[in-house]
Every structure is written in structure tokens, then in C-alpha cells.
Amino acid sequence: MSSFPTSELVKFSDLHPKPSNVTFSYGTAGFRTKASLLDSVLFRVGVLAALRSKRLDGKTIGVMVTASHNPEADNGVKLVDPRGEMLENSWETLATNLSNAETTGDFIQVVKNIINHQKIDISKTANVIIARDTRPSGPGLVAALEDGLRAMGAVARNEGVKTTPILHYLAGKKAPPLVVDCANGVGFFAAKAMGEYVNSVLPLIPHNIAINALGALNNACGADYVKTSQRLPPSLVSVLHPGQRACSFDGDADRLIYFYLDDRSQFHMLDGDKIAALVANFIAELAKGAGLDGKFEIGVVQTAYANGSSTKYLSERLPVQCVKTGVKNLHHAAEGYSIGVYFEANGHGTVLFSPSALSILETHQPSTPAQSTYLSNLIALSDLINQTVGDALSDMLLVEVILAHKGYSGLEWDSIYSDLPNRLVKVVVKDRNIFETEDAERRLTSPPGLQQRLDDIIRKYDGGRAFVRPSGTEDVVRVYAEATLRPQADGKSQTFDLEIMFIPNIFPELAFRIAGLVYDESGGDSSKRPKEFL
């Protein structure tokens, strides 16, 4: 908003007239009185919260609707400053003045005075987060508050029913800085440019930014390194501290992989599958909250490389499709849904909103203020996401928005499901063209008989799944394998060290058995057979 919104304020203020013969006061804990008297106060507090946020360069102001320990028929409202603290004293007086302006004209005049005296730049964005207790008068009063915020063009986030301390916490919480591994590539330019816009709310700390160093690109860093080796880039070992989130781009910044260290400094990877689960869940939640349940279909597209746990988790909630490797295949399949979420496990993906879904979002009439918030959040996501192709930066913002919204750290995100231990192995063969597949590349049709031999091996591993396909980008055959536990293939019982069992790298056996078989069956030279193949 670039100029003072007088006509909006007049229009909305007339909907919330001040009752005559009442004098309000911003007391020890904000305004507090009979709920039936508070409609105009809530509207005006919405306007004041927006002014306070603008005065503080868009920092988030909290508004809590509650009358605490007082009788249920009472209600109240108080403002919370950006660090989660009580409203600054001088503003309590402004709040009282504003609430007692008798007419819309008086009210507008007080607003103008506040803007002048506080030297408020009205063109700044205002960010306000609101919550209420369980009082029956809460929803109506929140609606009045939202009118005030709307009149001022504030960005409002309705947290629904929350305790007062949680609202203080949410208002005071900042996104912790995000370490961004730029793979020594072009993603650094983009991260740097974006940092100028987002650093005040989401501080970015770029690493691996040696664009001009020969041989540095993707070397022991970047999304492919992290995903394939399931390790922290060595360059980040002394950078990342426990609990901090980090992400890696690839060399052209169209892939994104997240990771974090837990409080024992163990590395945890959040790959494209985890991103898909986070995003698809969130979109489904927003659509439901907006009252759009059943109005359109939200689907997820994966490839055979998706971790089995992710497929299980997602299929229990949404339609999931498996297609051949390659973004073109995922993108195409995702176009078949109203909202199609697609990600390769390696972090390449995006979300597509069909034209009809977008027009439903535009025309849908929410029936409650809460529905309206969900709807505007969903529309905002459709703007945030680069729908032309997977985009590491746009995906990073998408992930950050969801984490911030849900108050998740890497740990909470990670715990939505546990990855099955897995391994990807390359096999160099004489002629990869002899390998032909079916069933979205999950089964071999050629060389004849090989699939059956693979099945015989896979069957011996609890929850085992594996497949072999020729790469479409390198002269190799790829083997992927995952299983629930380490093998009992030799029939001997094994004891497991639980600590070790959940470290994915410890699980190479099924993959190396299959790699060995593929190598031998395709005429591999026994003198050059990689030692790790079984």
C-alpha cells in the first residue's frame, strides 16, 4: 500500500461503530470488558497493530484476543511487540485514544495524528499474527480485528485458538539463519540477490561460493553430493551447528536438498521426497481449511527412486503416481491434477496449479474468516512457486514458509516419516542398451531372465525393494536398493546395533549384490570388477 487508505478505513470503520456512552482504556492487560461492547475496539486494534508493524519496518506484531481468567462473557485484546514482549508504554496511550474516538471522522483523524507523530511510513508492509482463546465471542471479535487489518492492507496470519504465551512466542520468533551450500555455482548469484529481499526475515548464509575456482563446481558439495553420499559437505563441518538447517543447490540451482545435524551432531538429510511430503501435506491442509475439500484433486508424482517410506506415507493421504525418471515425465503427469506436486528424490521438482484450480481459488467464497486466511495463504503459495520448472530458490522459500508457518525445525519435518536405508550404485557395463524396463522402470524386460534372478535376491531382504535401469544421462546402469533391516540372506540370525542400523550408508549389501549380478550378467571384465560388488 503506497498511500493512506482513507476510503477503505472509512468503509470498514462504518461497519464497526463505537458504542456511545462507553469509555475504553488500554489497561494492565490490554482492553478488557463485556465482549458485547468490544467490536469497534477490535477493529481499531487491527488498524493500530498494522501501524505499529509499519512503524517497526514490518516486524511482526502479535494480537491476542482473550479476557484470561475473567468470566466467559468478557473478552479483551492486547498487542504483543516483535520480540514477544508487551506493547511499548507510549503506544498504550495511542490505543486508548484510538478506541475512544466517537465517530468514523474522529477515528480517521486520530489515525492521521498517529501516523504524523510517529513518523510512520505508510508504504511499509505490516505483518500481524493473531490468536484467540476459546471464548464463544472470539470468532466474531477476530473477524472485526481482521477487518481492521484488511483496511490497512496488513499481511495477517490467523493462528486460531492458542494460549497467550504461545502467541507471544510466535510473535517473537525469528527464522534462524539458513546455511545455503551454493555448490560453487551460479546459485550463489541468485542466493545473494534474493538475500537482499529476505535477509530481514530469513537470514541466508551462503557457502561454497567459489564461482571462479577451477574444479570447485559440485566438488564435495552441492545437492548431488549430499544426496548420493548421504553426507555433510566437508566444507560445512565447522560451519553447521546442531539444530541448524542447511540446504544444498546443484550446479545450476534447479535441485534442492536440505539437511541438519541433530543434538548429537548426527547428519540427517531431507531430500526431494521429504520436500514433497511437507509441501503436499501443507497444500492439502490449506485446501481443506479453505473449504475446498472435494473441489479439486491434489496429487503427488514420484519416480521409482522415491524412498518407499515416502510413497507409503503419501499414498495413505493423497493420490500418488510413479513415472519414469526425468523431470519431463514428472511435470507431464503432475499436469493431470488440479494441484500436482512432483519431486525427484534428488531434489528436483515443483508444484503445478492447473488453470481451473487457479480460477477456483480466485472465485471461491470462504464462509468464515479462518477459511479466508487459508485461501489467501494457498493463493500466496501459487504465486511463490516457480511453476515452469523445479527451482532451488523458489523451492527453498516454499520450504521455509511452511516450516515457519508450522513452527517446525528440521527435526519435526524429518520425523513425518523415517527413510528406509537405501543405496544407489552405478555399474559400468559394456552396452547399457541391452537393459530394457517396464512398469515405470521398476522391472527389467531385458536381458531375459535377469529380473527373475533379481527378484530371488530381493525376496531375502525384509521390506526389500530394488531395481535396475540404464541411465539416460551417463553411460552406466543404475542400481537402487532399499530394505527395512540389514539382510538375513545367509539364513544366520543377526543382531543389530540400532545406532548403526539407521545410518543409511551402512546398508550397501542388497545394492552391491545386485550390482555384482548386473555386472557379471552383462559381460563385465572380472579383472576390473569393483571390489565392493558382492
Ligand X SMILES: CC(=O)N[C@H]1[C@@H](OP(=O)(O)O)O[C@H](CO)[C@@H](O)[C@@H]1O
Q: What are the binding residues for Mg(2+)?
A: 68, 250, 252, 254
Q: Report what 472 binds from ligand X, Mg ion, none; CB cut-off 5-8 Å by kind.
A: ligand X
CA–CA gap between residue 275 and residue 265 (Å, rounded): 22
273 binds ligand X (CB under 6 A): no
Per-residue x/- track, 428-467, ligand X (CB under 6 A): ----------------------------------------
Distance CA 533, CA 423 (A): 13
From the list ligand X, Mg ion, none, which binds 252 (C-beta under 5 to 8 Å, kind-based)? Mg ion
- Smallest distance, Mg ion to C-beta of residue 323, A: 19
Please pick, among 20, 36, 40, 68, the residue that the annotation labels catalytic.
68
Residues 6+ apart with CB under 8 A from 64: 30, 77, 78, 80, 130, 131, 132, 133, 164, 167, 168
- Determine contact, residues 250/222, Cβ cutoff 8 Å: yes
User: 517 and 533 in contact (C-beta within 8 Å)?
Assistant: no
471 binds ligand X (CB under 6 A): yes
Q: How far is the CB of 214 from ligand X (least distance, A)?
A: 23
Half-sphere exposure of 134 (CA within 13 A, CB side): 2
Rg (CA), the chain: 28
As given in the structure block, the three cell numbers for residue 415 are 520425523
Cα–Cα nearest to 22, from 12, 10, 37: 37
Which listed residue (472, 503, 505, 520) binds ligand X by CB under 6 A? 472
**Kind of pairing, strands 60-65 and 74-80?**
antiparallel
In the list Mg ion, ligand X, none, the entry touching 254 (Cβ below 5 to 8 angstroms by class) is: Mg ion
Look up 137 and say whether it is catalytic: no
CB 132 within 8 A of CB 38: no
Residue 116 binding partner per list ligand X, Mg ion, none, with a CB distance cut-off of 5 to 8 Å that depends on partner kind: none
Out of 326, 447, 487, 530, name the contact with ligand X by CB under 6 A. 326
Please tell me the distance from the alpha carbon of residue 491 to that of residue 512, in angstroms, as a whole number. Answer: 18
Q: Which of residues 342-381 bind ligand X (CB under 6 A)?
A: 344, 346, 348
Binding residue for ligand X, selected from 72, 474, 497, 520, defined by CB under 6 A: 474
Tell me the closest approach of the beta carbon of residue 390 to ligand X, in angstroms: 9
- State how beta strands 298-303 and 267-270 pair: unpaired
* Least distance between ligand X and beta carbon 51 (Å): 49
Does 154 contact ligand X by CB under 6 A? no
Residue given cell 541391452 in the structure block: 434
Give me 481's grid cell. 536398493
Burial 51-69 (b: 16+ CB within 10 A, else e): bbbbbbebbbbbbbbbbee
* 461 contact, one of Mg ion, ligand X, none, CB 5-8 Å limit per kind: none
Closest to ligand X by CB, 24 or 249: 249
Piece in contact with ligand X (CB under 6 A), picked from 10-18, 68-76, 331-339, 341-349: 341-349
Q: Give, as ranges, the residues between 283 and 322 that touch ligand X (CB under 6 A).
A: 305
Closest approach, Cβ 461 to ligand X, in A, equals 20
- What's the closest the beta carbon of residue 426 comes to ligand X, in angstroms? 9
268 binds ligand X (CB under 6 A): no
Q: Which does 350 bind (CB under 5 to 8 A by kind): ligand X, Mg ion, none?
A: none
Could you say which DSSP state residue 27 is in?
A: B
Give the residue from 140, 218, 227, 130 showing the smallest Cα distance to 182: 218
Check residue 478 for interaction with ligand X (CB under 6 A). Answer: yes
CB of 470 to ligand X, least distance (A): 8
3-state secondary structure 369-423: HHHHHHHHHHHHHHHHCCCCCCCHHHHHHHHHHHHHHHCCCHHHHHCCCCCCCEE
The rounded distance, in Å, linking the Cα atoms of 148 and 182 is: 42
3-state secondary structure of 444: strand
Known binding residues are 68, 250, 252, 254, 344-346, 469-473, 478
Partner from Mg ion, ligand X, none contacting 250, C-beta within 5 to 8 A by type: Mg ion
Nearer to ligand X, 305 or 519 (CB): 305
Nearer CB in complex with Mg ion: 254/271: 254
Q: Write out the residues near Mg ion by the rule CB under 5 A.
A: 250, 252, 254
**Contact footprint for ligand X (CB under 6 A):** 305, 325-327, 344, 346, 348, 471-474, 478
Q: Which of the residues are catalytic?
A: 68
